[in-house]
Structure formats: C-alpha cells, structure tokens
Amino acid sequence: MTRRERFRHGGRTMDDIDPMSGLVNLFDVAMVFAVALMVAFVIRSQMTEFLTAQDVTYVKNAGKPDMEIIVKKNNRVTRYKSEKTTGSGRGQRVGIAYRLENGEIIYVPENEESHP
C-alpha cells in the first residue's frame, strides 16, 4: 500500500476496515429501540402492576360484551373472556341487587329459609 492510500484511509490498511461493523451498530440501535417501545407500552397501558410481585386483578372493557378479566396471582397470569351470551336455564333466587343514586350497586343475599 502506498503512502497516499494509507493517508486516505486514516493510516489503516484495507485489512483493518471491516464493512460489517456498521451493521453491528445498527443491530444494537434496533435492540435499544425495541426495549424502549416495550417499556413505553407497559407504562402507557397502565399495567405496571404486572411487573411487580404483588397479586393484581385488571378488568378490561368493563360492562361491554368483549369484557376481559386478567388476574395475576402467585406470578401466574390468567385471562377470563366474556362469552357474549346471557345466562339461561333453571335456577333459584339467591339475593337482590340495588342500584344507589350514585351508581353503586349493592347485593343483599337472601336466606334459603325465607323462600319456599
């Protein structure tokens, strides 16, 4: 290699220049970006409780046909989805529910002895 060629490459020879080094740097940047997106998603969805050791219950789409209940207990996550159907069949009355003026619902169980 001539003196002029060495000066043009910053004193490095052609063997010192690695064309794959730029690709490795792009991979590192992509990994940092992916981790940042995951952290932003968890913070945005307000589900940071799932990252801790405590037990938690989360209700998604409450009161809608596609309601889902997510329960984390003993570091195990279980999902319960609504079947979008109403109950039918035979049964017996077990109590009364009252809706208060503020929207709160109170359930009052009944004794089996009070109804035939």
Instruction: Identify which has the larger pLDDT, 59 or 6.
Output: 59
For residue 94, what pLDDT band results from cuts at 50, 70 and 90? confident
Burial class (CB in 10 A: 0-12, 13-18, 19+), 60: middle
State mean pLDDT over 64-72: 83
Half-sphere exposure of 45 (CA within 13 A, CB side): 15
Contact between 29 and 23 under an 8 Å Cβ cutoff? The reply is no
For residue 36, what pLDDT band results from cuts at 50, 70 and 90? very high
What does the buried/exposed string (b/e) look like for 24-54 if buried means 16 or more CB atoms within 10 Å of the residue's CB? Answer: eeeeeeeeeeeeeeeeeeeeeeeeeeeeeee
Instruction: Identify which has the larger pLDDT, 50 or 29.
Output: 29
